[in-house]
Structure 1
Amino acid sequence: MNKRRDFIKHTGLSGVGLLVSGMMQAYATTTEDLDRIKEQANSTQVQKFNMCGYAAPKLDVVRIGVVGIGNRGYGALERLVKIEGVEIKALCDLRAERTALGKKFVETSGHTPDLYDGKVDSWKKLCERNDLDLVYILTPWEYHTPIAVFSMNHDKHVCVEVPAAKTLEECWQLVETSERTRKHCMMVENCCYDFSELLTLNMAQQGFFGEIVHCEGGYIHNLQELMFSKEHFYQMWELIEAYKRKGNLYPTHGLGPLCQVLNINRGDQMDFLVSVSTSDFILGDLAKEYAKKDEFYKPFVGKNYNGTMNTSTIRTKKGKTIMLQFDVGSPRPYSRNQLISGTKGIGQKYPEPARYATGHEWLSPEEYKALEEKYQPPIIKKIGELAKQVGGHGGMDFIMDWRTIDCLRNGLPLEQNVYDAALWSSVSPLSVWSVANNSNSIKVPDFTGGSYKTNKPVDISMTTGGTTKVKL
């Protein structure tokens, strides 16, 4: 515990005041960094309070401050203004033009937020306000844990974009702070609310697959153009991330839904992980090509970029396995893999449409339609069509936000808690260690302090409460 307190002190979690490019250096994988990952992987923490199943006091109105009005942040504003019982009271971004744009948009729905901008730590003043219930964090990865910890310490619930943390120290900080303050820390893993993933989760809980033995997930997304765009990722932060560490840097989209299917943190737990990466065959060459045409890109030439494909395998305490892949450079169609294999059946989402089987052949489209009708989760029946109208990755973003607000307004537990945020995010630094150590295995920490053995599975109905209206 003393090492964690020292980390908080030395990294300045009480106030981050560095530019993105400066902060990146703290995460370079030196020998010391790798030793720290191994140490933290074997760390344990006595649970102060179990946040799994915790229901915070009801909030008639959820007063929100949004930090980060970039690509994802502006999208969140578009969704939040459609939800009853939400008051957007504050917006923050380093760039004044972004907060002004956000304010102009939400004012059309009757919200009058105060603005915080111009400094890298402007978010602190937002979090210190005493009239906010929830801080929604949509910044570059570096700031996720610092802002989340600061917010919870100032009596705010937190929704934080993926990944919630970059290091194991940060994962433990999130857990300790959430338990101590009894404030929700939800990593907004939107893929858990995708129509297909929710259907598959319900099928799993109803026994369609039998005993689930093996799952596969991933994030395979051709981001070549976006990573080298001067406008998309502010200050080129994602391209910078790509040469600071080698491993699975973005595990949660593929992993989150699989963990819910396997009841990870709720009956089973990850045991150990192994990870292997290819060399980089794409990003380094692209940097050279861009630099030939524009000197702006010269600092990105010669960097030791993350491998093109990372493959990680996780074994659970109950002997199940999960295979995860990460590739944002290859010219491939988008895929999260999403394969569920059990003793009675199998489901596979990609290539779309999703398919299911209970034998040698995939079920026919007619049989799939019958399955969909039989196993359609109640939340999809209730909010699915409205979500499609609002949008956000086909509607799953809106289902996620609507359900979160409805839980807060009705005093209900959230489907994703701080243990999920910490565990799913921890796969990234664990994979970094394994890749750097010839793909040796590394223990996965139990962030629940052993409570996973009795924690209840995710309630797939997700309609308890259900009183919050949608404003189209």
Structure 2
Amino acid sequence: NMVRDDLFGELLHCQGGYQHDLRHVKFNDGVNPYGGGVEFGNKGYSESKWRTQHSVERNGDLYPTHGLGPVSSMLNINRGNRMMYLTSTATQSRGLHNYIVKLGGKDNQNANVKFKLGDIVSTVIKCASGQTIMLSHDTNSPRPYSLNFRVQGTKGIWQKDNDSIYIDGKTPDHWWESDEEYLKKFDHPLWKRFENQASGSGHGGMDYFIVRAFIESLRKKTSPPIDVYDAVSMSV
């Protein structure tokens, strides 16, 4: 709503990402789903049976949709704007090996596994309308959870990690202010109406609205808010 109401002016740059310490998800004791050991693959349990192998075989942003989905909507991707090209680079891979050694010892057989996935993958995307998008994938490091959202335009900037905003002409020069009042003022009508129902669903209530919108599109035989073209754009 803040973007649509021109609070930030013409958008210039957006950031997002998937920054989530998944070491306890990628490894476990083979019995419990999270942590307690350094097993994965055939000896692992739950997500470690399949998820960790991607870190062995692939190097790149393996999960771009968390950050890219919301900013694509703000930037009207596939609705008059499009992503043209990108550059992406990764750091060395250290986190998963260090985790194995820490919990299982340097002589554990999994300490010999070579992981291709860099600990931090940074991607910059250029859009047809001129904007840039920066994505970060960081799942092998000890860190707090963050989707790293930042929205910046000709009139101001908002950052999620410190819940702060700066609007030219409204915020004191060179100072951040809390985004709390702005979030209340520009809260989406659907959140206001269905907040109680959504509170029990996954991902902070987001899952409720995504599933609800999809079911509604089926009932009304209309296009869903996120269609197959969006899915392809966010995964290539």
TM-score by shorter chain over 0.5 = yes
Match of 1:355 in 2: 164
Letter in 2 for 1:221: H
Letter in 1 for 2:24: E
Letter in 2 for 1:394: G
Asked if 1:269 is matched to 2:68, the reply is no
Asked if 1:259 is matched to 2:84, the reply is no
Partner Cα distance (2:25, 2:115) in 1: 19
Partner Cα distance (2:18, 2:184) in 1: 28
* Equivalent pair of 1:219/1:250 in contact (CA under 8 Å): yes
1:210 CA drift (Å): 0.5
Letter in 2 for 1:211: E
Aligned length: 217
1:283 CA drift (Å): 1.0
The 5-angstrom pairing of residues 151-162 of structure 1 reads none
1:211-257 deviation line (CA, Å, top 9, x unaligned): 00011111110111111123433462111110111111111101110
Match of 1:336 in 2: 147
Partner Cα distance (1:419, 1:412) in 2: 15
Partner Cα distance (1:238, 1:404) in 2: 27
Partner Cα distance (1:398, 1:337) in 2: 22
1:244-302 deviation line (CA, Å, top 9, x unaligned): 1111111110111010000011111111100111001211232344544996xx25633
1:316 aligns with one of 121, 127, 148? 127
Aligned-residue sequence identity (percent) comes to: 38
The 5-angstrom pairing of residues 48-447 of structure 1 reads 202-229=1-28, 230=30, 231-232=32-33, 233-234=46-47, 236-292=49-105, 298-299=109-110, 301-351=112-162, 354-359=163-168, 360-364=174-178, 368-369=180-181, 371-388=182-199, 390-426=200-236
Match of 1:21 in 2: none
1:410 CA drift (Å): 2.4
Partner Cα distance (1:258, 1:311) in 2: 16
Secondary structure of the residue aligned to 1:203 is coil
Secondary structure of the residue aligned to 1:264 is coil
Partner Cα distance (1:206, 1:279) in 2: 42
Secondary structure of the residue aligned to 2:235 is helix
Partner Cα distance (1:332, 1:240) in 2: 22
1:188-207 deviation line (CA, Å, top 9, x unaligned): xxxxxxxxxxxxxx111111
Partner Cα distance (2:225, 2:120) in 1: 31
Secondary structure of the residue aligned to 1:263 is coil
Partner Cα distance (1:380, 1:203) in 2: 14
Partner Cα distance (1:262, 1:333) in 2: 27
1:398-457 deviation line (CA, Å, top 9, x unaligned): 12212221222222321100011001011xxxxxxxxxxxxxxxxxxxxxxxxxxxxxxx
Partner Cα distance (1:310, 1:338) in 2: 16
Letter in 2 for 1:242: S
Higher helix proportion: 1
Partner Cα distance (1:244, 1:349) in 2: 32
Partner Cα distance (1:213, 1:237) in 2: 38
**RMSD of Structure 2 on Structure 1 (CA):** 2.0
Letter in 1 for 2:86: L
Partner Cα distance (2:185, 2:115) in 1: 50
Letter in 1 for 2:58: R
Partner Cα distance (1:404, 1:382) in 2: 18
1:331-382 deviation line (CA, Å, top 9, x unaligned): 111111110000011111114xx322114322346xx42x234322121122
Secondary structure of the residue aligned to 1:314 is strand
Q: TM-score, normalised by structure 2?
A: 0.84
1:161-215 deviation line (CA, Å, top 9, x unaligned): xxxxxxxxxxxxxxxxxxxxxxxxxxxxxxxxxxxxxxxxx11111111000011
* Equivalent pair of 2:18/2:138 in contact (CA under 8 Å): yes
Q: Which runs of 5+ in 1 are unaligned?
A: 1-201, 427-472
* Equivalent pair of 1:208/1:345 in contact (CA under 8 Å): yes
Structure 1 residues 274, 293: CA separation in 2 closer, same or farther (over 3 Å shift)? closer
* Equivalent pair of 1:256/1:424 in contact (CA under 8 Å): yes
Partner Cα distance (1:305, 1:285) in 2: 14
| Runs of 4+ displaced beyond 4 Å | none
Letter in 1 for 2:164: R
Structure 1 residues 357, 228: CA separation in 2 closer, same or farther (over 3 Å shift)? same
